[in-house]
Every structure is written in C-alpha cells, then in structure tokens.
C-alpha cells in the first residue's frame, strides 16, 4: 500500500536501531525485546538473552547495567539458572544513592531502573526489599518533579505499584510519546479511554510523523515507534480492504451459525438452555460476531443529541463509517412497527459525521417469513440504509411465548418449555 512505500526508509532505520542492540546483555536491546516480543507483525531472531558465556565473562553484581539486564532476562525467562547472581546484584542496588551523578544517576535512567524493577518482580519475595527501595526512589522522583521527563517512567510506576498510565487526549505530543501511549493502550494498562476519533487522529499523526520527521534517541524508543507504526499499518490496511458489504456478509451467516445454539432436552440432568427472548440478547450475540471480525466496533455508541432526544447506536464501526441496528420481532405485527422506528431513527443516527450508512439486523422470533421481503424492500428505500438482514429463530429454540409460558416451574424445578420438533 502507498503508506508502506513512503514509510519503508523510516521502517528500515527503526529496524536497524533495534538490531544494533540485539546482543547478549544489552539493556536497551532487552527493553526493545520487552516492547516487541508480543507484536505479531515483527519477527526478530532475538539474541539479547543473558547467556552462560556472558555471565562468566562480563557479569558483575556491582554493575547496574549488568543487574538491570539480568532483571529483564529473568522477567522474560522466569525459569533461569542465574537467580543467585540476580539476587546478589539486586541486594547491592539498595546500597546506592539513586540520585547521585545527576544525569548519570539511576533515577535519570528509566531504562536501567525498569530492569531492576522487573527483576525484583520476577524474584518475588526474595527481592521484596529492593522492590520497596525502587518504590521509594519513584516516590522521591515524584516529590522532586522528576517523573515527567520520559514517558517510560509511567510504565515504571505501573510495574512497581500498579498505577495505570494516563493517556493525553491530544495528538500534539512527540512521536515517541504517541507511540508509547499506543503501546500502553494495546496492552490495556491505560487509566483513561480515548474516543475512536482521537485514536484515529493519533494513528494518522504517528504514520505521518514517522514518514516525514522520524526522530528517536535509543533502540527502545525506536522499538516503541516501530511497534506502533506496524500495528497501525495493518489496522489501516484492514480498514481499507473492509467495506460495509463485508459486515452484511458476516451477518448473513447468523442463521447457519445458530446450528450449535444450546437448548438441551429434559432427558439431561442439568440441561443447558440459552434463551433468546429480547433484543438485548440478540445484541449480545451480534457483539460476539462483530468483535471477532472488526476490532474497532463500538458497543452502544453515543450519538449527538437532536433537540431534547438522545440516541445510542447499538453498534458502530468507525473505520467503515457504519452503524448496525438490531431489532427483535415477536410477531408478524412487529415488522410494521420496526419499519417506522428505523425510518424515524435513521436521520438522527446519520447526523453524526462519523457515520454514513446503516445496516438493519432483525431477529424474527415468530418466523414470520412472509413479512421479510416486504420489510426489507421498504427499508432499503430509506436513504442511508446499506442493507437489511432478517433472520429467523432456529427450530431447536422455543419462541419467546413458549418460554414465557414454561416459566411456571414443574415439581422437579425444570422449565415446562419443551424442545420444539424441527
């Protein structure tokens, strides 16, 4: 795609920066591995692990870089034969003044300090004293207003104390800050949620800045940017290839998918019966289906007010500018009411500039198939409606009226609702 063509030189620079630190015991390389190891779009033959040769030839428990590197490695490989060396190094860390040396101090080097924290967490109770020491260092950094010079510090607070990461809503931050925030959101360690529009603007900003003004100061910063760019490229590619008719095609498979819907017979001691008796339950099924295909689907997306009225779309897919509205028909008479409701709702729904079209999904509990074509044709004439998908209740599932009647329990405590004969 065109974005990849413009970004390729920048992607090469990011890759080269990471690979330069892909060697045993490199603290920056180990942090890059920590950032990228779960990214399915980036494949690296990692060589950053602490090997026996590195331990024998280089490791010194008094060297902070060495202890930090071993901390990263222990976190990534909990079953390690170097626990004794790590505990020795972590105990010596507490003897240091974390603020001595100004810009060379441990407090001014979050990459190194994160390795210490991860090593403590990997060792559990055996390193609890050093973890408390790290927390004290972070608290003093807060008091000294030293906790904002690098976005990575917020991740240190998260690992040391469980404090989730606040995400700035604007997209005017530096490229590194935006990429770090994207990584935090992807790993669900952020305290606040951004709107779909804010996420879209950030992703566009990341791609544009990477192509036109790429700047980073370390392999780990390059790793954050590389991770964000590759994820956003695949997200953009998926959005470019997907169209509203793909959503219709997925929903058209609803009836066939209901073959495995559970409604056990009375011969079972503990029958499982998944009731579908209202619109909300249909929405639950649709969420499971849509979320499996479209990653940016929004559940009950709030729309702008129109006069005194407020509106919520059942589902929105911002990347497709599409709304999906679900309806539940109990009888054939409901179809006329549904037509009217959709016609009235379509105008306020599509006033939102994020959306341009709507798919109507109707679950027909009454199996009034003679009404389907009439309703579908009528709704397709409404401006903005992309498609109308109407499905009928599967035969193994009782209708709402039968289930309601069966709620009078029999003496054995089971529902009197019988399995319908297909």
Residue ranges per structural domain of the chain = 2-241, 245-405
Per-residue pLDDT, 286: 94
Q: When comparing pLDDT for 243 and 5, which is higher?
A: 243
Per-residue pLDDT, 415: 47
Structure-token pair, residue 409: 């329990």
Instruction: Calculate what percentage of the chain has a pLDDT beyond 90.
Output: 64
Question: What does CATH list as the number for 2-241?
Answer: 1.50.10
Average per-residue pLDDT for the chain = 89
Residue 205 has pLDDT above 60, yes or no: yes
pLDDT class for 308, splitting at 50, 70, 90?
A: low
C-beta neighbour count of 128 within 10 angstroms: 12
**DSSP symbols for 311-348:** EEEEEEEGGGTEEEEEEEESSTTHHHHHHHHHHHHHHH
- Region of poorest pLDDT, from 21-30, 268-277, 375-384: 268-277
- Region of poorest pLDDT, from 141-145, 201-205, 411-415: 411-415
Report which of 81, 11, 2, 83 is spatially closest to residue 229, judged by C-alpha positions: 11
Per-residue pLDDT, 84: 96
Residue 35 has pLDDT above 70, yes or no: yes
Q: When comparing pLDDT for 348 and 64, which is higher?
A: 64
Structure-token pair, residue 350: 């599509």
Strand stretches in 177-276, DSSP E: none
Per-residue pLDDT, 55: 96
Give per-residue pLDDT as tens, 206-222.
999 999 999 999 999 99
């Amino acid at each position: 795609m065109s974005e990849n063509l413009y970004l390729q030189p920048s992607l090469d620079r990011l890759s080269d920066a990471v690979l330069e630190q892909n060697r045993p015991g490199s603290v920056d390389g180990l942090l890059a591995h920590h950032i990228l190891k779960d990214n399915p779009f980036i494949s690296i033959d990692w060589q950053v692990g602490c090997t026996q040769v590195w331990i024998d030839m280089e490791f010194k428990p008094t060297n902070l870089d060495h202890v930090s590197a071993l901390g990263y490695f222990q976190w990534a490989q909990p079953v390690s034969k170097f626990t004794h060396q790590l505990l020795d190094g972590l105990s010596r860390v507490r003897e240091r003044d974390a603020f001595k040396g100004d810009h060379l101090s441990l407090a001014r080097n979050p990459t190194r300090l994160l390795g210490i924290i991860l090593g403590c967490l990997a060792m559990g109770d055996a390193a609890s004293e050093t973890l408390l020491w790290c927390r004290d260092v972070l608290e003093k950094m807060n008091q000294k207003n030293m906790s904002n010079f690098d976005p990575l510090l917020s991740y240190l607070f998260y690992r040391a104390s469980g404090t989730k990461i606040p995400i700035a809503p604007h997209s005017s931050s530096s490229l590194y800050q935006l990429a770090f925030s994207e990584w935090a959101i992807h790993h669900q360690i952020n305290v606040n949620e951004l709107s779909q529009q804010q996420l879209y603007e950030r992703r566009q900003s990341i791609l544009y800045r990477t192509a036109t003004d790429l700047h980073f100061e370390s392999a780990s910063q390059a790793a954050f940017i590389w991770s964000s760019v590759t994820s956003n490229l695949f997200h953009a590619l998926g959005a470019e290839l997907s169209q509203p008719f793909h959503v219709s095609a997925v929903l058209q498979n609803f009836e066939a998918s209901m073959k495995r819907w559970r409604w056990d017979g009375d011969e079972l001691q503990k029958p499982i019966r998944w009731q579908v008796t209202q619109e909300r339950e249909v929405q639950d099924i649709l969420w499971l289906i849509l979320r499996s295909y479209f990653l940016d689907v929004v559940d009950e997306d709030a729309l702008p007010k129109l006069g005194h009225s407020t509106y919520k779309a059942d589902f929105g897919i911002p990347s497709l500018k599409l709304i999906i509205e679900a309806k539940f028909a109990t009888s054939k008479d409901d179809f006329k009411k549904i037509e009217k409701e959709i016609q009235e709702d379509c105008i306020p729904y599509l006033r939102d500039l994020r959306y341009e079209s709507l798919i109507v999904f109707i679950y027909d509990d009454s199996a009034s198939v003679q009404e389907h074509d009439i309703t579908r044709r009528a709704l397709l004439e409404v401006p903005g409606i992309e498609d109308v998908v109407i499905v009928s209740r599967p035969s193994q599932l009782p209708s709402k009226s039968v289930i309601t009647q069966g709620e009078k329990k029999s003496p054995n405590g089971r529902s009197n609702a019988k399995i319908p004969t297909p």
